[in-house]
Amino acid sequence: MPLIKRFEDIVAWQEARKLVKRVYQITRKGEFRKDFGLRDQIQRASVSSMTNIAEGFDCESNVEFARFLVIARRSAVEVQSLLYTALDTEYIDEAVFKEMYDQAAKTKAIIHALKRSLKISPK
């Protein structure tokens, strides 16, 4: 396996970036764009997932990187939860909900796998 030299090479970051792009696409449309609270919260959560992966990659230790990955994963879960609000308020339909929920789940799973690969020894 090649050594990762840039955060942009991390698959988890790439998947989180896809999630961010899609979140911004849907929040620009219809009534969703006018719901500043929900719009801003789901945008922040998606961006948090992506940026915490990048920020953690630049850490001095795997323990610290793992801490950032936990935050990134939780942010992806937050996106999933907020998608329910968007669905329930009819800002998005079932198909968009499923697509985005699945992207967030994929992002979460890859972040989790990356964290596990760090092989941090228990105290």
Concatenate the DSSP letters of all residues of 15-64 into one string.
Answer: HHHHHHHHHHHHHTSGGGGG-HHHHHHHHHHHHHHHHHHHHHHTSSSHHH
- Mean pLDDT computed over every residue of the chain: 95
- Cβ atoms of 69 and 115 within 8 Å: the answer is yes
Give percent above pLDDT 90 in the chain.
89
Domain span holding position 51:
10-117
Question: Quick check: is 111 in a domain?
Answer: yes
Cα separation, 82 vs 61, in Å, equals 32
Domain annotation covers residue 32: yes
Q: 24-59 pLDDT, tens per residue?
A: 999 999 999 999 999 999 999 999 999 999 999 999
User: Residue 120 in 3-state DSSP?
Assistant: coil
Indicate the pLDDT class of residue 60, thresholds 50, 70 and 90.
Answer: confident
Whichever domain contains 104, its CATH number is 1.20.1440.60
Number of domains in the chain: 1
